[in-house]
Amino acid sequence: MADIFTPGMRDWLDKLNQLAEGQLLPIQPDWNAAPGSVKEIKNKPVLAAVATSGSKDDVGLGAVDNTADADKPVSTKQKAALDLKASINSTGMKNRIHNGCMRVAQRGISGASVGFGISLDRWYLNSAGTAVNWEQRPLGIDGKLRALTWAGAAGNTYVQAQQRIEAINCQDMAGTAVVLSFLVYQSTGASRNIAPQLGYSTGAEDSWQAITFIPSLDPVATIPNAAWTRVTARFAVPAAATTGLAVFPIGANAPPAFGAGQEGGLANVQLEIANTATPLERRPYSLELSLCQYYYRKDVFGHNVVVGTGQAYSTAFAYALVPLSGAMRVSPTLSFSGALSRLGGEGVTWPDQPGYGPSGLSIRVGYSTTQFVAGDAVMLMANGSFTVTRSAEL
């Protein structure tokens, strides 16, 4: 039978047998290599070749500079990639804008902007010259999202969209780099320029008696006619901006005008601490709604639902406490719609003396009556639908 081992292999087998038998013989590896194989690459010492030239093509790879990023924790490209990722600790509040997706519409999905007023939740729409009609519409490029749109009118001189951010929700932005991003639409017949701006409340926190404006670090954005366009604008927020921020996506000092037959729109608005804009943070609808309800809330009571209970103060006057669904930012402005009646008695003119309850979660209502004896229990119910509206907007 032919020997299948080469002389070199047989020599190693003999040495292994000697080791197995306890004959610990020193094994001397053969490190003698020809130039260009192990000790040298292209006739250069291995260590010198790698450390000095860093030429990866010597070993079949592309060229690399091993010293350019030596003083950085990560490379430039890695840092850019990391900037695009949101911290897990900021989940739900990366975007400081409330209702940037334009889905929450507690006041309704359409209306008219006469001067300075609220449209969709948290969004002021300010029109000058003539009023414009606003509407919530499906965002054409994504049917799951919504847009705030407006229709121009003859004589309109500008339309300005604004959201004010409460100081407690943006004080950490003072002295930092932030990015505003959004989708905008205009159909005025030609390209239009917009200049996004931020501002902060001059004076006390959230007072908004005056605004100091913050210009964008980026050039004016050009918006083509009849096309949704994404805009990003970087800002260096001053350290003094701890009193609340105002966001003006389409500009504050010189916003565009929208005449008859012309439309505008705004969607996917996001303000974040970053150097590079990231994709829109899509919060669950229930979370977005709760953020908006801190500033505006409606409690709707259906037909024959008990609204409140109390007792008669005298033969001519009674009080009732009406529980409400949640606390507000500050003591709100109250309004009511619908009708009430006393269970088993007369209708109630609502209210004679409304007052906000001490907990912020109820309203004390006083009303006139002719059917009570002092100390009588009182129970109020809704006739049809009854609504209590509270507003605590900035």
Where do the H-state alpha helices sit in the chain?
A: 7-20, 46-48, 76-83, 285-293
Query: Looking at residue 304, which CATH number applies to its domain?
Result: 2.60.40
Pairing of strands 124-128, 44-45: unpaired
Domain end marker among 294, 324, 356:
294
Summarised one tens digit per residue, pLDDT across range 71-120 is 556 677 666 665 555 444 455 689 999 999 999 999 999 999 878 899 99
- Residue 88 is predicted with a pLDDT of 42
Residues 134 and 243 in one domain: yes
352 and 242 housed in the same domain: no
Which residue range forms the structural domain that includes residue 381? 297-391
Residue-wise pLDDT for 373-392, tens only, equals 888 888 888 888 889 899 99
Same domain for 224 and 309, yes or no, is no
- Number of domains composing the chain: 2
DSSP 128-168: ESS-EEEEEEEETTEEEEEEEEEE--TT--EEEEEEEE-GG
Asked which of 294, 311, 336 is the last residue of a domain, the reply is: 294
Domain annotation covers residue 262: yes
| Residue 33 maps to a domain | no
- Stretches where the chain sits below pLDDT 70 are 1-5, 8-9, 12-13, 16-74, 77-92, 140-143, 344-360
**Torsional class of 31: left (φ above 0), alpha (ψ -120 to 50), beta (otherwise):** alpha
HSE-up (13 A, CA, CB side) for residue 252: 18
CATH number at residue 120: 2.60.120.260
pLDDT confidence of residue 314:
84
> What is the pLDDT at residue 71?
54
Residue 76 lies in a domain: no
Q: Are residues 281 and 219 in the same domain?
A: yes
Asked, for residue 329, whether it belongs to a domain, the answer is yes
- Residue 250 C-beta-side C-alpha neighbours within 13 Å: 28
Per-residue pLDDT reduced to its tens digit, 319-329 = 888 888 888 89
- Within a domain: 72: no
The pTM for the full model equals 0.75
Token pair, residue 188, equals 């005025």
Do 214 and 351 reside in the same domain of the chain?
no
Please indicate, yes or no, whether residues 252 and 374 belong to a single structural domain of this protein.
no
Kindly state whether residue 60 falls inside one of the protein's structural domains.
no
**Does residue 350 lie in a domain region?**
yes
- Domain shared by 160 and 201, yes or no: yes
CA distance 205 to 165: 11
Q: Determine the Cα–Cα distance for residues 6 and 8; give it in Å rounded to an integer.
A: 5
